[in-house]
Amino acid sequence: MLLGLLGMVMVLSSSSVSDLRDYDDAWYHLRRQVVWVAFGLAGLFTTLRFDYRRLRSLARPGLILAVVLLVLVLIPGVGIRVNGSVRWLGMGGVTFQPSEFAKLAVILFGANLLANRSSGTTRLTLWPMLVVLLVVGGLVFREPDLGTAVVLAAIVASLLFFAGLRLDALLVTGSVGLGLVAGMSMSASYRRDRLFSLFDPWNDPLNTGWQTIQAGVAISSGGLWGAGLGASRAKWGFLPFAQTDFIFAIVAEELGFLAAMAVILAYLALGVAGLSTALRAPDRFGQLLAAGITSWILIQAFVNIGAVLGLLPITGVPLPFVSYGGSSTILSLTAFGILLNIARQTP
């Protein structure tokens, strides 16, 4: 709840200048975010009261629905193109990002599959999960959205690890996967330029290195205590997507290093609580489901913050509970309700 409240405050602060310029309404993004949080909380309280064991019957239909939605996104005239990517479906002015739903669908399907099968049999555990990843991750990559595809791969790897897959099989598969990611990163010029800008953003400071440089300026300007809430300079047109992918930079600039560290510690606390829940869950399905949801939140936070700090390539992955975004907010809170449901039933 604290991360969600911080997110709404920072969405208002980071988007108010551009909203006033583009919509003549400084509250435009905040109003929408409040609606998304309300829907997300409705999802959270629903899954909190809905016994998580009953979700097993939805594992396969949920995965099928996710694949269908991801296919629809790629159909010309159906998917909505924004900033060069086709990631959204829309109806009546409301847009939805199927890849966010796909993360939860893959976790639910994987937890159900791996809970029923021996971890020592790679033919019955590793290969089915790789097929699922190939289909779902491949469709997401085609949007194109390499960042979310990598997050999906990391979620699947986490599920296999917690399910007890042999370490040698996991290491070999991971090595092959890293090679594929490297190849996909080099397969398009814009991804290649973005990857190279990670090592030297000043090589192209007005294009591929712009966001990394501006995020660094914002973070360093915050100092220990911050410039003050609402006093960010980066949000005045210098840092694109300040309310979504780079909201952590605005937190560090306005509230300072201590607040930025508090956000990181909050995710670590969620991780400790989530993994503790997974270890104490009453059944194997609950253990894997809790581990998968916790891994999703931590991996996505790690990728987002790493990109903002210039340690990882920019991927467009939102910061859970904090970044602006309807699909991400609703699905993250709904998934967290499942985690809380499992925690309530731990001995």
Residue 120, pLDDT score: 62
Nearest to 67 by CA among 160, 132, 141: 132
Of 5, 2, 52, the residue nearest 293 (C-alpha): 52
Give me the chain's average pLDDT, please: 92
Kindly state the percentage of the chain with pLDDT values over 70.
Answer: 99
Q: What is the pLDDT of residues 95-146, one digit of tens each?
A: 899 999 999 999 999 999 999 876 667 778 899 999 999 999 999 999 989 8
Whole-prediction pTM: 0.94
Domain boundaries of the chain, sorted by first residue: 1-49+203-347, 55-187
Q: Is residue 244 within a helix (H) or strand (E), and if so which, with residue range?
A: none
Q: Which residues contact 110 (CB under 8 A, 6 or more apart)?
A: 129, 132, 155, 156, 159, 288, 292
- Residues 205-246 pLDDT 10s: 888 889 999 999 999 999 999 999 999 999 998 998 899 999
According to the model, what pLDDT value does residue 194 have? Answer: 77
Task: Summarize pLDDT for 140-177 with one digit per residue, the tens.
Answer: 999 989 899 999 999 999 999 999 888 888 889 889 98
Give the confidence band of 94 by pLDDT, cuts at 50, 70, 90.
confident
Alpha carbons 130 and 335: distance in angstroms, whole number: 23
pLDDT attached to residue 100: 95
* pLDDT value of position 84: 73
Per-residue pLDDT of 286-344, as tens digits, reads: 999 999 999 999 999 999 999 999 999 888 899 999 999 999 999 999 999 999 999 99
Q: How confident is the model at residue 334, as a pLDDT?
A: 97
For residues 152 and 317, the answer to whether their CB atoms sit within 8 Å is no
Predicted local confidence at residue 119, as pLDDT = 65
What pLDDT, on a 0 to 100 scale, did the predictor assign at position 182? 82
Q: 150: buried, middle or exposed (CB in 10 Å: 19+, 13-18, 0-12)?
A: buried
